[in-house]
Structure formats: C-alpha cells, structure tokens
Structure 1
Amino acid sequence: MNPSPNRLISLSQARAIVDSLGPLASEETPLTEALGRITAEPVCAAGNCPTVDSSLKDGYAVRSDDVAAATADQPVSLVITGTVVAGAATSPTVGPGTAVRIMTGATLPAGADAVLAAEFATERDRQVEVRANAHAGRNVLRAGSDVSAGEIVTTAGTVLGPGHLGLFAAAGITRLSVVRRPRIMVAAIGSELVEPGQPIGPGQVAASNLVTIRGELQRIGLETDGVLLTDQLDRLESVFAAILSSHDVLLTCGGVLDGDKDLTLRAMDRLGVQRLFHRVRIGPGKGIAMGRIGTAVIFNLPGGPPSNHVAFRQLALPGIRKLAGYPAPFTGHKTALLTETVHGTNGWTQFIYGRMLAQKDDGSRHVQPLTELPRLQAMAVADCLIELPEEIDIRTAGAPVTIWLF
C-alpha cells in the first residue's frame, strides 16, 4: 500500500512506488532502426547461421581418414578435383584419395569432414602434399553453430547494441518488437525565467533546468519537448491538460513549495491528478512529487538546480527508464572510498556531487566530494552522486560509500 501522498516519505518508499511502473506498449521496428531500443519480448532466430557447414580457413576440404597418418616427415598426397569459394552454388564431391581447394566461408563439399589449413600443404600438378592430419570437424563451422532456428537469442528488456543487430541479421530477423519510447515534455515554470540563450535581465534567471534535463534524456536516446511557463494558474492548468493528453511523461521544474507563486501542484489538483507522493526525505530534492492521470505519469521537480537534478536523477529518470522498458531502473551504483570526510543529516538521505579518481594499483576506487565548488560548477564537473543513507550523519575519509555514476 502506498503511503499518504502528502506525507514526507523515505527514499526507499519513493523508489518502490517508482519501481511499480510498468513498460509502455510495444511496437514493431525494422532491424535497421533498432539501435538503442529495448526488446519487448524474447527474440527468436528465424533461421540457422551459418545455413550450411562451412570452412573456417583457406585450405583443402578432405576426408579425415585420408590424412590421419600425415606428418611433415611422411606427407600424404591427394588429388585435387576442384575449387569451391564462398557463395558457390555447387562444388565437387570429395572421395577417397581426393581433396577440394576451399576458401574461408565456402560450403564444405559432400564427402569431406575436415579442412586442412593451407599452411600445412603444398600443391603441385593438381596434387596436394599434406604434411599434417586434420581430425573430423577440423576448421569446420557447423550449420547453426552460431545461431539455430527457433533459438532465443535475446531476452525481453535488452538494450540493443550494434552486436545485437549483427546477430539478428545473421539469424534472419528483419523486424523486432520493442518498447515504445515515452513521449516526454519538460516544463520550466517561473515568471523570472528566460529562454536559455536569451539576454538575462536584472532579477531574471536562465531556465538551465530545462537544458540539463533534456540533455540527460537525450544522452540515453530519448527526445523531449520543452516549454517555458509563467506563474499563472489558469494558464498552467490549460497547458498541462493539453500536454497530458499527448504525452506519456510530464516533467515540471519549479512551483512545488508553499509560496504564493508555487502554483504547479495547485494546477495538478485542478486537473484531478492522482498524487502518489509529495516530498521525500532526500537532500537536496525533497520537494519532488509524483502523480498519474490516465496513462500519463507526472514528476513535479523542485526549481533549484541541485534539487531539481538530484530529484530527477534519483526518482524521475528511473521512472522514465521503467516506462521505456528497462527491467532494473535503479542501476549504476558502485562502492568507492571517500577522499575526505562528508556530513549528512540524520533521518535524511543526503546526496553530494562527486568526482571519481583514477583507480589505485590495488583496484580500489576513490571518490572526491565536490563540496568546495559552487553548486552549478559542481554539477558541471561531477560524474557521480555520493549517497549518505538516513542513518548516517558523517562519513570519514577512507570510508566506503555508495556512488551513483552518471
């Protein structure tokens, strides 16, 4: 059972709610457009690869019994009856005392059960002098040895890389069932905000959260829409209604506290959004809220850049990953040793921007807290977040900590 949506909850409780999200519906995509997509179901091979027994070497297709006694001192002579190359429709049959010259990838001729590598043979006057044996199956790639028809080659929830696409092509697969990518809108809210790249007047602030979040999502292959909104409740309500009718995810930045101009959640309430939680015991980022309406998921993020970014990385991004089909959204954490002492707040999960250092000779990883840098500079140079759990209010230099890699 979910906790009361208006009660301050722990990070573990919030993660459990996020983890309950299911993937979006599947869709078909051509193999050539599947890079980076996530499989919605197991993928089965449509055919064998290779389709026939073939040669792994340039050399001679032989009967293993004919060359069993061949050595450098006592070579065996075989009559060459022809040549077979990769892609040839037909080839000579290998009979007793004969061999067929064969190229890498060519179909193993009937009668042959091995391929002798070219370096162990000398050819003269349509005969080949064999100086080594070749047991049955030597240098032969059996039909279906890479992939067999009907074999499951990839499970559901696999992020497809170039190697997967090559495997699928070899297995005769031309189309795939993948999880549909979520349609995402990022909305920055505040009358003081200006579009990034525009002149910033006195008292104004560039909507940097908009750029940061869209960049984070673009990095994992998810395109987003973006909009900048002022503090007008009726306008927020109407714009949010339109967004939620056309997008799977709405990420809002700002307006989640209790000030007169914090109107985001009031607009959500007007729309009938089911609030799953509001405020989590994390620092920074406690103001985050999560809700649902219809099939759409909403993450209302705080407006301060570190609070916005931490809340996004720790809860909103895993939620989007779950919708996109990743089976384990809370990944990317490791253990490292602190280079200096850090302080947290008892009863709260604290996050600190950090930078990984070169691995030591003993294999240990060390992380440097970026506590001395201004907040935006720390965000820019960090490659991880250091997590201090609720029960810890201090971690001394040299102590192990959990880090979340970017």
Structure 2
Amino acid sequence: MKTHRTHLISFSEARAIVGALPPLPVEHVPLSGALGTITAGPVLAAANCPTIDSSLKDGYAVRSTDVAGAGRTTPVTLQLAGTVVAGGSDQTAVLPGTAVRIMTGGTLPAGADAVLASEFAEERTTTVQARADAHCGRNVLRRGADITAGAIIIEPGVRLGAGHLGLLAAAGVTAVQIYRRPSIMVIATGSELVAPGEPIGPGQVAASNMITVEAELKSLGLPVDTALLRDNLDNLEEVFSSALQNYDILLTCGGVLDGDKDLTLRAMQRCGVRQLFHRVRIGPGKGISMALAGDTLVFNLPGGPPSNHVAFRQLALPGIRRRLGCDNPFPGRITAPVTETISGPAGWTQFIYGYAGCLDAKSSLVARPLTTRPRLQAIAEANCLIEVPEQLCEVHAGNHTTVWLFNETF
C-alpha cells in the first residue's frame, strides 16, 4: 500500500484506502476460542450428524408394513422384542410382527423402517398395540440428515456466532481456521482530560471519547486496553512507541489539529509511522489520520466528541473490520427518505446523527435527523448517521439519501 499525500481527500478515497487493508494472519483455534472470529477458509464437516439412523421420538421401532392398517378401532398387536436407548449398544432386530421400544436419539434397529410415537401405542407385558399407522421413514432421522461428512458447512468470511459453534461441534470439528483477532489499544490525549470516575474540575473534561470507543469495540467482543496521557511530547512518543510494538491496532483520541498542544501527530512522526492519509473531507471528523507502523494499524481520531465518533465509525471501525477479515468493512448502508431537509458544505460529505425507524406499522423506514439535540445527546440517541453526499448541498425532506445504520455486528 502506497503512502498517501497529506492533503484532504474525499470520503470515497478514504474508504478505498481502508478497504485495501489486508487482514491479520490466519491461525487455528479450538471452538472454545472461536466465538466472534471470522473464518479464513471453508470449514468441512468431519463427521455425519447423526452418525446413525435414529429415532426422533420416544416410541416403538416397527416395520411400516406391519402397522399399515392400524387405527383406533383396528389396533395391531406386535410382540415386544426389546428396548433401545440413545447411545445404547443393543442390536435387537425388528422381525415381522415385532416392535422394539426406542428412546429419542436411539439407533433404529435393523429391520425397522419407522417409529410409532408412544402416544399412538399401548404397551402390555410382552406386546404392544399399535393404534395408528407409521409410514416408511416416520419419526426417523437418517444418518447424515443434518450434516454430511466432507461437506462445506461454513463458508469463508463468516463471523462465528453461538449457532455456528454448535454446528461445528455437531460436525465433529474441533478447531477452525480464522483470522487472528487484533489486540487493540485506545489512548486519549490532553492535559484537560480526567479519567472516568474522577471529579471534573473547572476547565476539565471527562475522557468520554475513550469510553465511547472502548465500548463500541467491546460490544463487538474485541478486547481493548486504554490509557489517558497528558500533553507531553516525550511521554507521548515513549508510550506510542511501546504501543506500536505491542498492539495490532492503536487508536488515539485528540491532538490531531495544529495548535501548540496538539502533539499526537508530532509524536507519531517521531515514532516513524507511515501516514496513509491525514484529513478527510467529512464533517464532522475531518481531522482523522490513518497510518501504519510496521504491521500495526494506527488511527488518530479528532478530540471533539462528534468528530471523534464519526471518524471512528465511518473509517477506523471499517479498518478494524478489514483486519478481522471482513470482506465488506462498510456494512449497514441503506437508502431511506429523510423527514426534514438537511444540508452540508459543497464538496464535503456531511454526516448527521439520526434515528431510523417506521412512523407506524404500515410505513416504510425513514430517517429522522436529530438536529435539535445537543451533541452528546444526539450521539446517545442515534441509531444511524444520515449522509449528505459531497455532490449535494441539501437533501430535501422526503428525498432518499444514504443512511449508515449502527446495529450491524461486523
């Protein structure tokens, strides 16, 4: 990947650079450590499920021809030849005129081709009366009906959830090839910042950006470490240098502008990072910088809460998704009409916090801008970002535009 010039680039250019990031290396992990990871190749079943023809019900294994005429008023009497339980080794066969009591999951005995559910049978000492018929295959789960050994059961690029792990376990898979999960460090910078839980004095600000970014990542199941640093260039360089050596991804919050105390990028330069872009024509969030230091991915985010959050969601989080192996690092993109006119500067992509939903049970999805909310309240209430594209200055009420939903996973 080539180093990008430091002039302002468009949102689409920045997205292309983020989308070109390679994923982290592949590794094999046991199922116990695979939740939330993304498959790096197709996963093949190691075993059939079930491994035998088995019963779906508690009942009686029978020959379907023996009970073909059975009914309430025309019961058929069969000799009881034994019992089969799930996991049992009894190999009792079903001969003409006989039945074998069978539990759910039990192996279908030789000779049987159906299971008569127990509610349609009356067992006596040595016999059972069938009071309904059971056609061939009734209540029988055939070998390999759920999973066939050797078949692809999960495609590449799938984020593994609880259901996937259950499927893998049933298929006899003990380990899976995935893209390694990144180690992530989030550092907030600024002498005015106070850590969560500390009293906020005059002129001080809580490090809410760090908390928001940390929570966004943890909600995706990603482990995160955090730190809060004062405005000291030498100390920033020392901590950044250590983080770049020990983490796969480093996110910083604040210090990306040109003021005397905006030291983040100066410290990054001292650390020898290779900047891919700095400043994007998006509002809010223009101050975002993206860089590489060896294999470590760096996003320097602005300090203002809306700028920080928009830059994180629209560019840094997609970059993390690429590292995780996501083929589509920009999910949640839809089009919807807006409920009121919104605007942005010419030549820039403007993002406005909004709430996407239906006005009533019969309505289709609309996006309602939260323009009257204070900044932090809008961030808390929003479930989407509404885009005013750079080629437009306004999106009029009722017109469709791009809406970026927050409720995606990866």
Alignment TM-score, normalising by the size of structure 1: 0.94
Assess if the C-alpha contact under 8 Å between 1:61 and 1:116 holds in 2.
Answer: yes
Residue identity in the other structure for 2:93:
T
1:3 Cα deviation from its structure 2 partner:
8.1
Assess if the C-alpha contact under 8 Å between 1:3 and 1:9 holds in 2.
Answer: no
**For the residues of structure 1 that align with 2:181 and 2:125, how far apart are their CA atoms?**
64
Assess if the C-alpha contact under 8 Å between 1:2 and 1:17 holds in 2.
Answer: no
1:32 Cα deviation from its structure 2 partner:
2.6
> Structure 1, residues 38-96: CA drift from partner, whole Å, max 9, x if none?
22332222211111100111222111222334444544332221221212111321111
**For the residues of structure 1 that align with 2:245 and 2:99, how far apart are their CA atoms?**
71
Structure 2 residue 295 is matched with structure 1 residue 295: yes
The aligned counterpart of 1:14 is 14
**For the residues of structure 2 that align with 1:381 and 1:156, how far apart are their CA atoms?**
35
The aligned counterpart of 1:63 is 63
1:246 Cα deviation from its structure 2 partner:
0.7
My pick for the range that moved more, 27-36 or 6-15, is 27-36
**For the residues of structure 2 that align with 1:5 and 1:262, how far apart are their CA atoms?**
20
**For the residues of structure 2 that align with 1:194 and 1:77, how far apart are their CA atoms?**
82
1:259 Cα deviation from its structure 2 partner:
2.1
Structure 1 unaligned regions, length at least 5: none
Partner SS for 1:252: strand
Return closer, same or farther for 1:343/1:2 CA change in 2, 3 Å cut-off. Answer: farther
1:178 Cα deviation from its structure 2 partner:
2.6
Partner SS for 1:173: coil
The aligned counterpart of 1:148 is 148
**For the residues of structure 1 that align with 2:137 and 2:181, how far apart are their CA atoms?**
46
The aligned counterpart of 2:313 is 313
> Structure 1, residues 336-383: CA drift from partner, whole Å, max 9, x if none?
332222112221111011123445333401222111111111112212
Residue identity in the other structure for 1:36:
G
The aligned counterpart of 1:194 is 194
Assess if the C-alpha contact under 8 Å between 1:82 and 1:91 holds in 2.
Answer: no
| Equivalent residues in 2 for 1:183-222, closer than 5 Å | 183-222=183-222
The size of the alignment, in residue pairs, is: 406
My pick for the range that moved more, 310-319 or 371-380, is 371-380
Partner SS for 1:239: helix
My pick for the range that moved more, 179-188 or 257-266, is 257-266
Assess if the C-alpha contact under 8 Å between 2:3 and 2:274 holds in 1.
Answer: no
The aligned counterpart of 2:163 is 163
Partner SS for 2:255: coil
**For the residues of structure 1 that align with 2:78 and 2:198, how far apart are their CA atoms?**
81
**For the residues of structure 2 that align with 1:200 and 1:69, how far apart are their CA atoms?**
83
The aligned counterpart of 1:225 is 225
**For the residues of structure 1 that align with 2:202 and 2:87, how far apart are their CA atoms?**
72
**For the residues of structure 2 that align with 1:166 and 1:334, how far apart are their CA atoms?**
32
Structure 2 residue 123 is matched with structure 1 residue 123: yes
Q: Percent identity?
A: 63
My pick for the range that moved more, 258-267 or 291-300, is 258-267
Structure 2 unaligned regions, length at least 5: none
| Equivalent residues in 2 for 1:203-282, closer than 5 Å | 203-282=203-282
My pick for the range that moved more, 138-147 or 358-367, is 358-367
**For the residues of structure 2 that align with 1:285 and 1:156, how far apart are their CA atoms?**
33
1:194 Cα deviation from its structure 2 partner:
2.2
